[in-house]
């Protein structure tokens, strides 16, 4: 499998506070890849760096063949069109319906007709497991799980190659979380996309992620799959295998 994201010797620093010190990893095409670690380990910061929302001190990210520190504004715009992002709380616009929220990227970045945009948005809404009636609801009328699915539909609206998820099951009840996990796997298999996921959910880690890194003490403490983690004798990683 080809490498679609390569992080090399990443250093992240806020003032004198060093968050990442020489962090490196690779993500292959078609993987569901996890960013794990304790609170404050910089999981979401890594994700934000990859999607051009956060600067880093040194090192390099190569995303879909582009060194993101050396690209022009036009190249950055083109790169952004090839990924979708689901933020932790959905980040839906409260004054817009689900249909309007999902349609925004197509309205902003394409010349499609209103009807074509509507049909594409309805298709993605259905794809993430929401009924068509949900398209006309507002975020305040949605459950937490429905908000996540609506945000996911928007992330998928431009048929991205990469899907970035920040704590996608956070705040969901156990059944909704497992249903969402199954949806992510099904979407990866159906759409042939690569998924990068920040998570602390041990069920997600063991049943969804193909590989993952665990961050700790500013570095990558582990990189591999759940079977390899269970065989690890690193005592610092035991919390990630307890009960699993």
Q: What is the mean pLDDT of residues 30-40?
A: 94
Residue 244 has pLDDT above 50, yes or no: no
pLDDT tens per residue across span 160-174: 999 999 999 988 899
- What is the token pair recorded at 28? 């292959």
Please compute the mean of the pLDDT values over residues 168-197 and round it to a whole number. Answer: 94
Give the contacts of 176 (CB within 8 A, at least 6 positions apart).
144, 145, 169
Report the candidate in 169, 30, 143, 29 with the shortest Cα–Cα distance to residue 86: 169
pLDDT band at 238 (very low <50, low <70, confident <90, very high): low
In the chain, what percentage of residues exceed pLDDT 70? 96
Residue 243 has pLDDT above 60, yes or no: no
Instruction: Give the span between the Cα atoms of 206 and 189, in whole angstroms.
Output: 18
What are the extents of the domains in the chain? 1-82+162-244, 93-159
Mean pLDDT of 150-156: 96
Break the chain down into helix, strand, coil percent, rounded to 5.
40, 25, 35
CB 102 within 8 A of CB 125: yes
How many beta carbons lie within 10 A of that of residue 15, not counting itself?
Answer: 5
Question: 71 pLDDT exceeds 60?
Answer: yes
| Residue 49 contacts residue 61 (beta carbons within 8 Å) | yes
pLDDT tens across 5-27, in order? 999 999 999 999 999 999 999 99
Which fold, 1-82+162-244?
Rossmann fold (3.40.50)
């Amino acid at each position: 499998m080809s490498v679609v994201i390569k992080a090399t010797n990443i250093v992240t620093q806020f003032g004198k506070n060093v968050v990442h010190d020489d962090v490196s990893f690779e993500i292959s095409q078609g993987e569901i890849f996890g960013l794990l670690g304790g609170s404050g380990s910089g999981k979401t910061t890594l994700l934000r760096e990859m999607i051009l929302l956060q600067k880093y001190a040194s090192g390099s990210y190569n995303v879909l063949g582009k060194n993101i520190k050396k690209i022009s504004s036009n190249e950055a715009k083109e790169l952004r069109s090839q990924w979708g992002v689901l933020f932790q709380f959905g980040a839906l616009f409260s004054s817009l319906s689900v249909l309007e929220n999902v349609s925004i990227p197509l309205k902003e970045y394409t010349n499609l007709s209103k009807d074509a945009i509507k049909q594409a948005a309805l298709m993605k809404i259905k794809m993430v497991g929401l009924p068509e009636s949900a398209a006309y609801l507002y975020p305040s009328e949605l459950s937490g799980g429905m908000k996540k699915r609506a945000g996911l539909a928007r992330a998928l609206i431009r048929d991205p190659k990469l899907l970035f998820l920040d704590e996608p099951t956070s705040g969901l009840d156990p059944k909704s979380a497992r249903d969402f996990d199954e949806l992510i796997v099904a979407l990866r298999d159906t759409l042939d996309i690569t998924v990068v996921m920040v998570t602390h959910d041990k069920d997600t880690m063991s049943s969804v992620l193909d590989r993952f890194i665990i961050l700790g003490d500013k570095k990558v403490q582990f990189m591999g799959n759940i079977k390899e983690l269970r065989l690890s004798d690193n005592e610092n990683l035991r919390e990630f295998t307890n009960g699993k």
